[in-house]
């Protein structure tokens, strides 16, 4: 049996509430009532309603304020306004603010059924759309491109974890998308209205890190000319992302552990501690368990931040993602650079897939961005890729030293091709300058670019 859809009826007239309750129950809905916006907001926050029917003029909190509060608190119900004589303009304004529709009082039962049927149909289409998008992407996060199974399982976990305050440790090589996953945890969860504050523990000198994290009061040390709020306080109500947590000096590890256990911080030099409500997500590209074994990372802190561990695979372990990411970055940067619709040539794509990407997705993104600058505006060819990537193209494109053939002609061609590619790379794709470096005419270079399929 399918679960009954829930409707919240918000109106200050008891008779109307009663009438709607009877009517909607008959139509198969589960109905709850509120007499004003403030009570309705509390119910809506907990109740998971599919629809809310809301009067515009009410005491305590009127319909418009209720609507705005719902949007701010991320309440996902479809809201339909009920307007009495003289409030149609307000109803239209409510629709601009996000209400789905409005119905004028007095209404009969057919009118209310029709509005709800339309709203149900829209919900169904929205759901279907979302499911289709998720099916294409493999998961529910729009910015994270992957069809890899392991990444899919990680994103499932992210979805579950986003609703809790559990500390999460994200592990993975540099550039695998750790910060992106941390943001997904924040923006898909209950804390999304709060701040997401990121700090790279390895990028801030150890001496400054403590006051960065916890803040200080005026006079706490020589340069402390005024009070300073720390990142923990800044992240209050939201998420603090501690990137490269393995770089945290041992003395600060003790302090961080205390903050996590007691959920309160004390600014440097302050007498009293204060409560903070922060979800901590950490990331590391180091083997933290190894760091613990080596005595460089505290075991108790390791267990505290590692309640849930997500381990992101390197890009070379999910090569099926490379073509997707190439398209994604071509579109993303192509649009920004006014070069839409650029596609990789088959040889370029082959090289991109074969390359081992030690810098992972970040290196791939940089490579595509740079390739767009160098390419001809229509296709992204091998010539626009860095030498290390090009070296992964098919055998015929490799240099003389790697060829099995003893043909001088073939060897000379391969060498010539390599020199042209290098010259273009050095000159940022400027053909006139490249021809000068190669000591050939501009025309000869154009001819050779065509011959070697480098255009």
Contacts with ligand ATP by CB under 6 A lie at 143-146, 172, 174-180, 243, 285, 328, 361-362, 365
- Residue ranges in 288-407 assigned as alpha helix (H): 288-293, 299-305, 321-336, 346-354, 360-374, 387-390
CB nearer to ligand ATP: pick between 63 and 138: 138
In whole angstroms, the minimum distance from the beta carbon of 203 to ligand ATP comes to 10
Burial of 419 (0-12, 13-18, 19+ CB in 10 A): middle
Nearer to ligand ATP, 11 or 365 (CB): 365
Q: How far apart are CA 79 and CA 310, in angstroms?
A: 37
Which residue, 112 or 161, has its beta carbon nearer to ligand ATP?
161
Residue found under tokens 């990331």: 283
Report the residue closest to ligand ATP, judged by CB: 177
CB pairs under 8 A, 24+ apart, for 95-104?
97/64, 97/67, 97/68, 97/71, 98/67, 98/70, 98/71, 99/54, 99/67, 103/53
Q: Can you tell me which residue has the tokens 């409030």?
A: 87
Nearer to ligand ATP by Cβ, of 37 and 177: the residue is 177
CA 360, 361, 366, 370 dihedral sign is: positive
Q: How far is the CB of 362 from ligand ATP (least distance, A)?
A: 4
The least distance separating ligand ATP from the CB of residue 309, rounded to whole angstroms, comes to 15
The CB-of-214 to ligand ATP minimum distance in angstroms stands at 23
Q: How far is the CB of 365 from ligand ATP (least distance, A)?
A: 5
Angle, helix 360-374 to helix 321-336, in steps of 10 degrees: 50
Backbone phi, psi, residue 127, to 5°: -60, -45
CA distance 325 to 359: 14
Closer of 176 and 418 to ligand ATP (Cβ): 176
Residue closer to ligand ATP by CB (options 145, 421) is 145
Rounded Cα distance between 438 and 448, Å, is 12
Minimum CB separation of residue 257 from ligand ATP in Å reads 23
Q: Cβ closer to ligand ATP: 101 or 369? A: 369
Residue 370 CB, nearest approach to ligand ATP (Å):
14
């Amino acid at each position: 049996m399918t679960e009954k859809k829930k409707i919240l009826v918000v109106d200050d007239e008891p008779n109307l509430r009663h009438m709607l309750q009877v009517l909607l129950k008959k139509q198969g809905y589960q109905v709850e009532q509120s007499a004003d916006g403030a009570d309705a907001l509390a119910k809506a926050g907990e109740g998971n309603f599919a629809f809310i029917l809301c009067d515009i003029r009410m005491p305590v909190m009127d319909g418009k304020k209720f609507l705005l509060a719902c949007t701010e608190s991320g309440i996902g119900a479809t809201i339909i306004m009920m307007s009495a004589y003289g409030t149609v303009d307000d109803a239209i304004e409510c629709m601009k603010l996000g209400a789905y529709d409005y119905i004028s009082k007095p209404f009969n039962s057919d009118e209310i059924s029709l509005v709800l049927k339309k709203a149900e149909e829209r919900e169904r289409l929205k759901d279907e759309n979302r499911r289709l998008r998720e099916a294409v992407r493999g998961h529910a996060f729009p910015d994270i491109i992957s069809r890899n199974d392991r990444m899919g399982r990680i994103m499932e976990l992210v979805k579950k974890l986003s609703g809790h305050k559990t500390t999460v440790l994200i592990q993975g090589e540099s550039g695998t998308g750790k910060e992106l996953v941390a943001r997904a945890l924040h923006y898909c969860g209950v804390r999304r209205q709060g701040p997401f504050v990121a700090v790279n523990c390895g990028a801030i000198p150890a001496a400054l890190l403590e006051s960065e994290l916890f803040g200080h009061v005026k006079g706490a040390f020589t340069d402390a000319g005024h009070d300073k709020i720390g990142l923990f306080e800044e992240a209050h109500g939201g998420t603090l992302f501690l990137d490269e947590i393995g770089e945290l000096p041992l003395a600060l590890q003790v302090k961080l552990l205390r903050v996590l256990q007691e959920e309160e911080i004390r600014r440097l030099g302050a007498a009293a501690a204060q409560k903070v409500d922060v979800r901590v997500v950490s990331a590391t590209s180091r083997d933290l368990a190894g760091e613990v074994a080596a005595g460089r990372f505290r075991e108790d802190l390791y267990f505290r931040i590692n309640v849930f561990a997500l381990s992101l695979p390197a890009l070379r372990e999910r090569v099926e993602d490379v073509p997707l990411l190439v398209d994604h970055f071509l579109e993303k940067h192509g649009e920004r650079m006014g070069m839409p619709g650029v596609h990789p040539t088959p040889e370029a794509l082959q090289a991109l897939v074969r390359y081992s990407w030690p810098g992972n997705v970040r290196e791939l993104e940089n490579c595509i961005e740079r390739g767009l600058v160098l390419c001809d505006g229509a296709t992204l060819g091998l010539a626009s890729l860095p030498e290390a990537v090009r070296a992964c193209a098919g055998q015929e494109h490799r240099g003389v030293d790697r060829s099995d053939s003893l043909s001088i002609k073939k060897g000379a061609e391969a060498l010539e091709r390599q020199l042209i590619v290098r010259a273009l790379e050095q000159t940022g794709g400027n053909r006139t300058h490249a021809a000068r470096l190669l000591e050939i005419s501009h025309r000869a270079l154009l001819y050779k670019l065509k011959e070697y399929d480098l255009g």
